[in-house]
């Protein structure tokens, strides 16, 4: 099953999505086409969002970092940075080195505190896709993790929907791709994550109680490709969803 959040007739509502992703089932029992819907980020208001940087050895290598960091690079995302499927993302005038980062996102389903990796996936309700844009000019001379880069308004497209965990037999066996104006610029797999989804849930749950709706962005594979206003950026995680975003001047 898939669930999405849309803006419909003046209301912010959660809907179920047909298996083929083509229609949305409204709470009143009626259906509307998915094409043309006003997609909102499938983020629960008040939930926390954690993100992991440098979780793929090939991406770390292209950026000049060690293949594996001594400690995981965790940062937080505020609600302001999310924008839904088919949304616009502003690229600042001095952000010539802005690049998309396709990521699998795990959504927590029940409170998790000090859970083990072996049991961690039982606490995951579902999965979605994020494009955690980075702006390299803003990263190079600043400490990490960096809110100036990673928490800008509407710079993290997410969605289109959340797929139930029951429909994702192995979150570590999914292709991750990004296409910019049709050109393939990222082509990885969740199999190459340094910390798996289960290890991340367990690790984070030792520091913070993870609550229903909390999200974990799990990092991106190699493929730094600078984008410009006017670009159509499509990030996709196999079996989860295809997220479309439009870069605009900002």
Ligand X SMILES: O=C(O)C/C(=C\C=C(/O)C(=O)O)C(=O)O
Position closest to ligand X via CB? 53
Of the candidate residues 2, 3, 5, 59, the single one contacting ligand X (CB under 6 A): 59
Cα separation of 247 and 93, whole Å? 12
| Smallest separation (angstroms) from ligand X to the CB of 18 | 31
Of the candidate residues 109, 219, 223, 241, the single one contacting ligand X (CB under 6 A): 219
C-beta separation of 245 from 87 below 8 A? yes
* CB nearer ligand X, residue 109 or residue 223: 223
| Smallest separation (angstroms) from ligand X to the CB of 54 | 5
Kindly provide the b/e burial profile for residues 183-217, where b requires at least 16 CB atoms within 10 angstroms of the residue's own CB.
eebbebbbebbbbbbbebbbbbbeeeebbebbbbb
Restricted to residues 61-100, the positions that interact with ligand X (CB under 6 A) are 63
Which two tokens mark 114?
């000090």
- Site pattern 165..184 for ligand X (x: CB under 6 A): --------------------
Restricted to residues 127-166, the positions that interact with ligand X (CB under 6 A) are 132, 134, 139, 144-146, 149-150
Tell the residue number behind the tokens 């984070």, with chain if given.
204
Cα separation of 135 and 100, whole Å? 9
Cα separation of 10 and 25, whole Å? 17
- Site pattern 13..52 for ligand X (x: CB under 6 A): ----------------------------------------
Regarding 53 and contact with ligand X (CB under 6 A), the answer is: yes
| Smallest separation (angstroms) from ligand X to the CB of 200 | 12
Q: Contacts with ligand X: how many residues (CB under 6 A)?
A: 15
Cα separation of 246 and 139, whole Å? 22
Task: Give which of 118, 113, 139, 124 is closest to 218, Cα–Cα.
Answer: 124
Of the candidate residues 86, 101, 214, 236, the single one contacting ligand X (CB under 6 A): 101
* CB nearer ligand X, residue 34 or residue 186: 186
Q: What is the DSSP letter of 210?
A: B
Cα separation of 171 and 91, whole Å? 31
Positions touching ligand X (CB under 6 A) are: 53-54, 59, 63, 101, 132, 134, 139, 144-146, 149-150, 219-220
């Amino acid at each position: 099953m898939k669930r999405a959040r849309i803006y419909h007739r003046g209301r912010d509502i959660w809907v179920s999505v047909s298996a083929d992703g083509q229609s949305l089932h409204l709470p009143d029992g009626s259906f509307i086409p998915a094409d043309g819907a006003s997609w909102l980020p499938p983020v629960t208001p008040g939930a926390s969002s954690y993100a992991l940087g440098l979780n793929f050895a090939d991406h770390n290598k292209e950026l000049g970092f060690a293949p594996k960091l001594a400690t995981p690079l965790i940062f937080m995302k505020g609600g302001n940075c999310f924008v839904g499927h088919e949304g616009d993302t502003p690229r600042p005038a001095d952000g010539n080195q802005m690049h998309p980062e396709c990521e699998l996102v795990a959504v927590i389903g029940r409170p998790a505190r000090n859970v083990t990796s072996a049991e961690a996936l039982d606490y995951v309700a579902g999965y979605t896709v994020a494009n955690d844009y980075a702006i390299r000019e803003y990263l190079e001379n600043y400490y990490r993790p960096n809110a100036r880069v990673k928490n800008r308004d509407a710079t993290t497209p997410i969605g289109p929907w959340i797929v139930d965990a029951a429909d994702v037999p192995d979150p570590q066996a999914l292709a991750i791709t990004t296409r910019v104006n049709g050109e393939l610029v990222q082509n990885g797999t969740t199999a190459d994550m340094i910390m798996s989804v289960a290890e991340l849930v367990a690790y984070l749950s030792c520091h913070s109680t993870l609550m229903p709706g909390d999200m974990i962005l799990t990092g991106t594979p190699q493929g730094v490709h600078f984008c410009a206003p006017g670009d159509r950026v499509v990030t996709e995680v196999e079996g989860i969803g295809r997220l479309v975003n439009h870069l605009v001047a900002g």
